[in-house]
Chain A
Amino acid sequence: MRDETVLGRDTAHAIALTGISKMYGLVTALHPTDLSVDKGEFLTLLGPSGSGKTTLLNLIAGAIGPTTGTIFLDGRDITQMPPRDRGIGMVFQNYALMPHMTVFDNVAYPLRARRQPASTIRAKVTEALERVGLRGFEDRKPRQLSGGQQQRVGIARCIVYSPAIIMMDEPLGALDKNLREQLQSEIKRLHKELGTTIIYVTHDQEEALNMSDRICLMSAGQITQLGTPDELYFQPRNRFVAEFIGESNLISGRTNGNGQLMIAGNRSIPVPAGGWTDGAELLVMVRPERVQICDMDEPVKEGSNVLSGEIGTTSFVGGMTRVTVQTENGLNMTARMVSGRAESRPQAGARVRVCWSSSDMVVLET
């Protein structure tokens, strides 16, 4: 028998979930899940809507109770504890500021709920507003602030009482791109300065890659893969991960006895490392930026896979240009290259070869 209690009780983890699940009637919002978050870690819950990430967040916050399982906060069982006693902080997507209160009163709210003396409150609120760059805005009402400023108040209101864990529920979802990037780096800076554990929810994969120590990718109420951004990007476990994070070329084939993988159009490429049995069906992924486009007469590097074909579309999206190639054996390959001027970019219909190194291929679980 697995000793769940001991598993959660160690205090090395800021939070530990053991066998936690949530059912609504017959609908499973979250399958039994184990997850532990280290102290000071920035963990992102990433996934499409309905994947269970918000359910997981609400379970930790105490907004909903789990159907099964236990939640440990710093080694204490908090499964039955009401939200107000958990001492967790939360930043909301739509800010959830008190519209009738000034910025100062909003940030002071958690301190007043803890009945701290006025002088302490003044000092802490001032410091928190300083940290988010909102000194001098104390007397404004939330509606007199921009969206970015309002979310800064939301963050100040959270860090002001130094909660052990701060949860952020798509905090930048309502902001435009530039502001979002600016606040991303501010949140990263605050995380570094304060050393708080942050659990961050987003459906934006770039945000997740940029900010996280670890990403917990969820789909259909389960954790699909948990790992560093690097692992999720370069070592995706399965097709869902590969397609959700970044773009990917998927090639399916069957191994033959000679170390070759038979792919579409009776072509063969070397089988990626890993002791595959003969006749095994494999799904292989190559990231578009690892795929190169070469002219027909250009020499190719040793150990490269080469397929010839015709350029389908070219889309110029700023720094990168995305090129699709219809290969002769019937594959649709996408390559991503650093943009040059229009004259030097591949033209649709041109005959080219696509090549990629065998070491850039990742075998996915099917």
Chain B
Amino acid sequence: MNRISIIRAQAIFMSPAVLAATLLILPPLLYVFYTSVYGPALSLAAYGQVLTSKLFRQTLTTTLVVAGLSSLLSLLLGFVVALHLARQPARRRAFLTVLVLLPFWTSVLVKCFAFTVILGREGIINSMLSWIFGIKIQLPLVLNMVGLLVGMTNFLIPLVVLPVLASLLAIDSAIYRAAAIMGAKPARIFWTVTLPMSLPGLLAGLLSIFVMSLGAFIVPSLLGGPQDQMLSSLVAFYNREVLDWQKASAISVVLLGMVFIFAAPLALWRRRKLKA
């Protein structure tokens, strides 16, 4: 196939997706952007008010902290899972991978309600602790930062396991055998081979779940406390409670901008990897 026919084939195969994305996503986004600058008159006033408001800055901090912490936690826990999966024989690994994906296929809403049952004041964990210690224990595990992080981490782990597993499986097993035969103990093999060679996969995984968690809405609404609300909740608040669509739109645009800033290195890295 020559160059032109390759380009033509690409155009034919990609056009439905591009068309759908453009028609279904771009107009609403443009409308959001339009709403954010067009109040009574065309102005950036809404952005000014939003960026100087204390509520916005608090929520922004919470968003970054929750997204950062839950991403790091998920990466740590997901890495351990991926390490275990990578060591299994192929068939067993396929079965275990399905188990990892099962919660991922379950609705976020259902999982959040399940967590309120597990973590609530009269929930499974508190009841068990009460039974073990023989006194009434009611640890505040939900509707606060703890509940929020548990919920977010549970949501994100499957998303980090798969890319990290892929990068672990890409390591030639002969390298491990070589390291062992040269006298390296398991800990040294981990620090000198496994970790550095899966680092690109880990970083890509971290960045992608961080970007994804920036826009979290359902989990913080159901498992977080009033202090732990994230930017999406703020958008909903201005949109539905205050009915200030202009500010709601301005916050959306800021959130979108943040996603772009963090997603750009990821896209660049992927492109570099494709070229290599």
Contact = CB atoms under 8 A, between A and B. Distances in A.
A88 B178 CA distance: 10
A109 B192 contact: yes
Q: Which among A88, A96, A97 has the highest number of chain B CB atoms within 10 Å?
A: A96
12 contacts: A63-B181, A83-B181, A84-B185, A87-B183, A96-B178, A97-B178, A98-B193, A98-B197, A100-B196, A109-B179, A109-B182, A109-B184
A94 B177 CA distance: 12
Contacts of B30: none
Interface residues of A, number: 25
Range, interface on chain B: 10 to 19
Given A84-B184, A96-B177, A109-B184, 11 more contacts: A61-B177, A83-B181, A86-B181, A90-B178, A94-B172, A98-B192, A100-B197, A109-B192, A113-B185, A157-B182, A161-B182
Contacts of A110: 182-184
A99 interface: yes
B175 A96 contact: yes
B269 to A, nearest CB: 16
A56 to B, nearest CB: 15
Nearest to A169: B174
A114 interface: yes
Interface in B188-234: 188, 192-193, 196-197
A97 B183 CA distance: 15
A110 B182 CA distance: 5
A240 interface: no
A89 interface: yes
B204 to A, nearest CB: 16
A92 interface: yes
Summarize B's interface: helix, strand, loop or mixed: helix
A88 to B, nearest CB: 6
B109 interface: no
Contacts of B117: none
B177 to A, nearest CB: 6
B261 interface: no
Contacts of A87: 183
Contacts of B181: 61-63, 83-84, 86, 88-90
Contacts of B196: 100
Nearest to A92: B174
Contacts of B174: 92, 94, 96
A104 to B, nearest CB: 14
Q: Which among B175, B181, B197 has the highest number of chain A CB atoms within 10 Å?
A: B181
A360 B78 CA distance: 69
Interface of A: 61-63, 82-90, 92, 94, 96-100, 109-110, 113-114, 157, 161
Nearest to B173: A96
A62 B180 CA distance: 10
A124 B177 CA distance: 23
Given A98-B192, A100-B197, A113-B188, A161 B172 contact: no
Contacts of A84: 180-185
A96 to B, nearest CB: 4
Contacts of A109: 179, 182, 184, 192
Q: Which among B175, B178, B193 has the highest number of chain A CB atoms within 10 Å?
A: B178
A83 B177 CA distance: 9
A26 to B, nearest CB: 18
A63 B183 contact: no
Nearest to B188: A113
A114 B183 contact: yes
Nearest to B179: A109
Query: When A and B form their complex, which 7 residue pairs have the shortest distance between CB atoms, in order from nearest?
Result: A110-B182, A96-B174, A113-B183, A96-B178, A113-B184, A83-B180, A83-B181
A239 to B, nearest CB: 35
A82 B192 CA distance: 19
A110 B197 CA distance: 18
Q: Which among A61, A85, A110, A114 has the highest number of chain B CB atoms within 10 Å?
A: A110
Given A99-B197, A100-B196, A92 B183 contact: no
A243 to B, nearest CB: 32
B255 to A, nearest CB: 36
Contacts of A89: 181-182
Contacts of B184: 84, 109-110, 113
A95 to B, nearest CB: 8
A84 B174 CA distance: 14
A90 B193 CA distance: 17
Contacts of B193: 98
A175 to B, nearest CB: 17
Interface string B142-184: 0000000000000000000000000000001011011111111
Interface string B68-106: 000000000000000000000000000000000000000
A98 B174 CA distance: 10
Q: Which among B177, B182, B188, B192 has the highest number of chain A CB atoms within 10 Å?
A: B182
Contacts of B172: 94, 96
A109 B191 CA distance: 12
Contacts of B178: 90, 92, 96-97
Contacts of A100: 196-197
A162 to B, nearest CB: 12
Nearest to A94: B174
A263 B181 CA distance: 55
Contacts of B197: 98-100
Nearest to B177: A63
